[in-house]
Amino acid sequence: MAASEPDFRLSLPRLLSFSTPGFGVGALAVALGVYLPRYYAGHIGLGLATVGLAFSMIRLSDTLLDPVIGVVMDRSRTRFGRYRVWLVLGAPVLAAGTYMLFEPRAHVSLVYMLAWLLVYYVGSSLTTLSHASWASVIAVNYHERSRVFGAIQFMGVIGAAMALCLPILMARRDGSSGAGDVGAMGWLVVLSIPLGVVLALLSTPEKVVAEKAGETYRLRDYLEMILRPEMARIILADFCLAMGPGWMAALYLFYFHDARGFTTANSSLLLFIYVAAGVAGAPLLSLLARRIGKHVTLMSAAAAYSLGLMVIASTPRGAFAENVVLMFLLGFAASCFPLLDRAMVADVGDAIRLEKGKNRIGLLYAMITTTQKVASALSIGFSFSVLGWIGYRAKEGAVNAPAAIHGMEMVYIIGPIVFVMVGAACFIGYRLDSQRHAEIRRQLAILDAADTEAPVLEGLGGTTAGGRVAGRA
């Protein structure tokens, strides 16, 4: 092999097939982040504080599992690959947890919600970790990673948009919603997750990367990766860029219904526009990242997102047309937060493999999913707790005083802006750009050329003809 690597690209059909597990994950992001907490707090009647605490407890406890899963994935080596076997294992766990949460039995208790939230989050960890890790070894080029993770984000946006169509289509004549739309969202995920996994398996092989023999994983290695300057920046930024939109999502329906004067159906339609904007945002911002760099694109998008939130707060109550434009711009900007963070983690993984001779990509993504879960837990727990402190009532049919509604408006706007701007600031002075990564890949190509014990694995759908799909990673 030459000292430099060829610019291989997955063909568009294979790329889209590989990305299809992102559809169900995207649908879940909206359904679980926006609709499920409100459903359990308002319709089931468990209360804001109880639901917020439950989500926080399970999310935070589940974060302890992610590093373990990441290490086990990195150490796995089967004839079907290192990561995709875990994607197969995670799909039924995620589907089972989703079904039981979105189709709850009568007289749901706190214990019921806690138990099935735990099952859901375990399945989510297995699925998202394995899929992201697999993506990182498919795409080895700095810019190709933006393309692959952009495709996954694109599928996630499509899934989220489909989930949001359900409450719009199922709304009553007065614009209100019923409990059935939550169940319909659950079924969308339960059916799409297994289908997406099958399509990914049939279309895409996996390369098991070469490693130095005789080395073992130590706790010190984990700490070194966390404290590594590039990774520390990404972890903190990822937490903040998840915390901001997560905070916004948790309070979204309360804000647009009570403060902005929209029906549930119109609120869902605006949220649909926000999510659908990612169909354009994910590929276009991914393309921009290839021109100006991933971290510069993230910083620019975060500034635009914060500005959009401030403008929304100044629009007249019930101004639908203005909010359509603003929600599109917000969704367009936010679409690049998760995809570029994950593409940057893969770049750090290359640098670590060059220095240490060990593939730690699963563990690195475990760090990111951990920050995502902590952010999700805290965004729901904190925001719901603050609403309770200011006297806001979430029970269906409750009437809130103007002071409580105004307080809720402030909580909705200020929290996301603060977190997103802190996330953007994390990338000031970031150095792992395209030029530095190209040199890392050049040196890895030299090392991989000498390796004869890391064969390219066959995809379930056929061989990798001409070496187009499976490249050295």
Question: Rounded to 5 degrees, what are φ and ψ at 451?
Answer: -85, 130
Between 290 and 358, residue with greater pLDDT: 290
Q: How does residue 453 score in pLDDT terms, banded at 50, 70 and 90?
A: very low
pLDDT tens digits for range 295-335: 999 999 999 999 999 999 889 888 899 999 999 999 999 98
- Give phi and psi for 35, each to the nearest 5: -95, -40
How confident is the model over 181-240, as pLDDT tens digits?
778 888 998 999 999 999 998 888 776 665 555 555 565 666 777 788 888 999 999 999
pLDDT tens for each residue of 239-257 = 999 999 988 888 888 889 8
What is the reported pLDDT for 137?
Answer: 79
**What does the pLDDT read at residue 466?**
38
**pLDDT number for residue 172:** 58
C-alpha to C-alpha distance for 156 and 162, rounded to whole angstroms: 10
Which of 34-43, 71-80, 165-174, 175-184 comes out lowest in average pLDDT? 175-184
List the structure tokens of 154.
């694109």
Q: Quick one: pLDDT band at residue 80, thresholds 50, 70, 90?
A: confident
Query: Is a pLDDT exceeding 60 seen at residue 176?
Result: no
The pLDDT value recorded for residue 428 is 93
Kindly list the domain boundaries of the chain, sorted by start residue: 12-207+219-455
Which of 68-72, 363-367, 370-374, 456-460 is predicted with the least confidence, judged by mean pLDDT? Answer: 456-460
* CATH fourth-level superfamily of 12-207+219-455: MFS general substrate transporter like domains (1.20.1250.20)
**Mean pLDDT over the full length of the chain:** 80
**pLDDT for 51:** 82
Q: What is the 3-state secondary structure (H, E, C) of 413-426?
A: HHHHHHHHHHHHHC
pLDDT of residue 18: 92
Confidence at residue 251, expressed as pLDDT on a 0 to 100 scale: 86
Taking every pair of C-alpha atoms in the chain, what is the biggest distance, in angstroms? 71
Tell me: the pLDDT tens digits for 382-422?
887 788 788 887 666 677 788 888 888 888 898 899 999 99
Q: If we measure between CA atoms, which residue out of 371, 370, 348 comes closest to residue 360?
A: 348
| pLDDT higher at 435 or 464 | 435
Q: How many CA atoms lie within 13 A of 164 on its CB side?
A: 27
Distance between CA 26 and CA 410 in Å, rounded?
28
Helix ranges (DSSP H) in 207-319: 219-227, 229-254, 264-292, 294-314
Q: Distance between CA atoms of 38 and 395, rounded to whole angstroms?
A: 9
**Whether pLDDT at 468 is above 50:** no
Long-range contacts of 320-326 (CB under 8 A, 24+ apart): 320/262, 320/266, 320/270, 323/260, 323/262, 323/270, 324/270, 324/273
* Amino acid type, 311: V
The pLDDT, as a whole number, for residue 454 is 44
CB atoms inside a 10 Å sphere around CB 267 = 24
Percent of the chain whose pLDDT exceeds 90 = 19
Of 64, 81, 39, which Cα lies nearest the Cα of 454?
81
**pLDDT score recorded for residue 369:** 76
> Higher confidence at residue 328 or residue 272?
328
- Name which of 157-171, 258-272, 339-353, 415-429 the model is least confident about: 157-171
* Measured distance CA(233)–CA(165) in Å, rounded: 36
When pLDDT is averaged across residues 152-163 and rounded to a whole number, the result is 86
Question: Nearest to residue 32, comparing CAs of 467, 380, 426?
Answer: 380
pLDDT beyond 80 at 429: yes
Q: How far apart are CA 42 and CA 36, in angstroms?
A: 10
> Tell me: the pLDDT tens digits for 325-379?
999 999 999 988 888 888 888 888 888 888 877 777 777 887 887 787 788 778 8
Mean pLDDT computed over 29-58: 78
pLDDT at position 20 over 90: yes
